[in-house]
């Protein structure tokens, strides 16, 4: 009798182990795939460009940036009168970023679709002297697929004395993006015609859509994980 009970107990333990094995394998595969995904990410920090140059002439790999001048903090202070030296750049040790001096908005066009876009931003006071807001819109072709809105509040001021934050958007396929001052009457639309010299950007980071093999691995891994959960 006791031998029979022990055999049944061992059988149940083995069965649970077999059921949990696919889950452990799925988790391991998923962790490996996720860990490898950022390998293709790129960052544009503007440090290698000549101060005063058009951001469109950067020649940055993977993205073209239009509507802004690349400036260092000394030029910002000269042009705008803000105490920018040592304070405007969001990258420790850096001194340059891009100001929307050429247009009311900054546009980003990607060479290949991306799944993630992050950008550090600093906004200037609006026409009423209030802290500036900023809108990031991600597009797949002409279709908006994600937005991120920065509305400064208490605690948003950085070392520069201006509102600073990081805006991020995610999507399955992002082909371009737009940074602009939002319309107060339609917070997910740009203010038209908007204002130039109203915001500064730095550290534009983006991650291309995963290669087909990586995407397939993620799909198989998630499917295996789902099956293992159903069999428990």
For the entire predicted model, the pTM comes to 0.75
> Do 69 and 101 touch, CB atoms closer than 8 A?
yes
Q: How far apart are CA 216 and CA 117, in angstroms?
A: 22
The closest alpha carbon to 121, from 226, 201, 52, 34, belongs to 201
User: Where in the chain are all domains bearing CATH 2.60.120?
Assistant: 41-209
pLDDT profile of the chain (232 residues), mean per 10:
44 41 39 44 93 95 96 94 87 88 97 97 91 96 96 86 94 96 90 93 93 50 52 54
Question: What's the CATH code, domain 41-209?
Answer: 2.60.120
Q: What is the pLDDT of residue 39?
A: 53
Contact present, 137 and 182 (Cβ < 8 Å): no
């Amino acid at each position: 009798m006791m031998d029979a009970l022990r055999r049944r107990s061992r059988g149940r333990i083995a069965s649970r182990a077999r059921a949990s094995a696919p889950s452990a394998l799925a988790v391991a595969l998923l962790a490996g795939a996720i860990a490898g995904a950022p390998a293709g990410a790129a960052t544009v920090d503007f440090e290698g460009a000549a101060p005063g140059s058009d951001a469109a002439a950067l020649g940055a790999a993977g993205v073209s940036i239009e509507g802004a001048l690349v400036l260092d903090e000394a030029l910002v202070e000269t042009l705008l009168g803000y105490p920018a030296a040592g304070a405007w750049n969001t990258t420790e040790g850096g001194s340059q970023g891009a100001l929307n001096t050429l247009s009311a908005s900054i546009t980003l066009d990607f060479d290949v679709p991306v799944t993630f876009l992050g950008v550090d931003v600093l906004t200037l006071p609006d026409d009423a002297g209030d802290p500036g807001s900023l809108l990031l819109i991600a597009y797949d072709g002409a279709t908006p697929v994600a937005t991120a809105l920065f509305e400064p509040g208490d605690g948003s001021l950085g070392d520069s004395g201006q509102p600073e934050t990081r805006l991020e958007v995610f999507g399955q396929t992002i082909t371009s993006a737009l940074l602009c001052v939002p319309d107060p009457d339609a917070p997910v639309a740009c203010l038209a015609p908007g204002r130039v010299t109203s915001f500064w950007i730095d550290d534009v980071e983006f991650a291309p859509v995963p290669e087909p093999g990586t995407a397939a691995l993620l799909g198989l891994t998630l499917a295996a994980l789902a099956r293992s959960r159903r069999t428990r």
